[in-house]
Amino acid sequence: MNHFQKLEEVMEQLRGENGCPWDREQTHETLKICLMEETAEVLDAIDQCHDPLLIEELGDLLLQVVFHSQIAKEENRFSLKTVVEAITNKLITRHPHVFGDKVCNDAGEVINQWEAIKKSEKKDERKSVLDGIVPHMGTLHLTEKVVNKVRKAEIPVQINQPNAKTIDAINAGNASTEEISELLFSLTAELAKQGIHAEEILRTKTNEFMKQARELEN
């Protein structure tokens, strides 16, 4: 028995007739907040460069995949095996330069090839370049992804440059919410154009701020 099979069996037992009352009550919907929290904890473990913690948090995240798969299996929809087979097939299909005879010379070519293959796979489902972007990601990440998709598709939507006048209005305390949102959007879009991830650099800065606050608190 491999590790995946053992984990699946444990989950089946937890959800079984004589299993855990809490586990048995869960649904896809009730586990959504758990999935978001476990993902955030993995990111935190990565930031801390702490392997024991990262092992633990990756395990918790993996549990969410197994949990959702078990619920679906009980509903005769799909199983963990289906999920594993799907991602395995996707990796092979999306990497013809590794598993086929295609050639990619750098990461940029790999990304373009990935997007082209994905587009051909989804052509009957997606009518817009923005289809498939999920709203549950962080807002800065969402803005960056949307802006990059629009730019790559060469859709002529006007994106204003960050405005110093708005910054002055914010400092004076009389900027409107529309002006503030425009500034945040334009700044994030400009950073995305330069290949800078606003979500990541803001998280890093916030972590630094938290560290300083804790030191002063102590």
Per-residue confidence (pLDDT) for residue 159, from 0 to 100: 85
Per-residue confidence (pLDDT) for residue 140, from 0 to 100: 86
CB 25 within 8 A of CB 67: no
Amino acid at 96: P
Report the alpha-carbon distance of residue 137 to residue 18 in Å, rounded: 37
**The CATH number of the domain covering residues in 3-85:** 1.10.287.1080
CB 14 within 8 A of CB 23: yes
Per-residue confidence (pLDDT) for residue 67, from 0 to 100: 97
Q: Could you state, in order of their start, the residue ranges of all structural domains in the chain?
A: 3-85, 94-125, 129-217
Per-residue confidence (pLDDT) for residue 124, from 0 to 100: 61
Q: Where does the pLDDT of residue 18 fall: very low under 50, low under 70, confident under 90, or very high at 90 and above?
A: very high
Per-residue confidence (pLDDT) for residue 6, from 0 to 100: 93
CB 77 within 8 A of CB 71: no
Quick one: what percent of the chain has pLDDT higher than 70? Answer: 98
Tell me what the pLDDT averaged over the chain comes to. Answer: 89
pLDDT digits (tens, 9 = 90+) for 23-71: 999 999 999 989 989 998 998 899 889 999 999 999 999 999 999 999 9
Name which residue leads in pLDDT, 121 or 104: 104
Q: Is the pLDDT of residue 132 over 80?
A: no
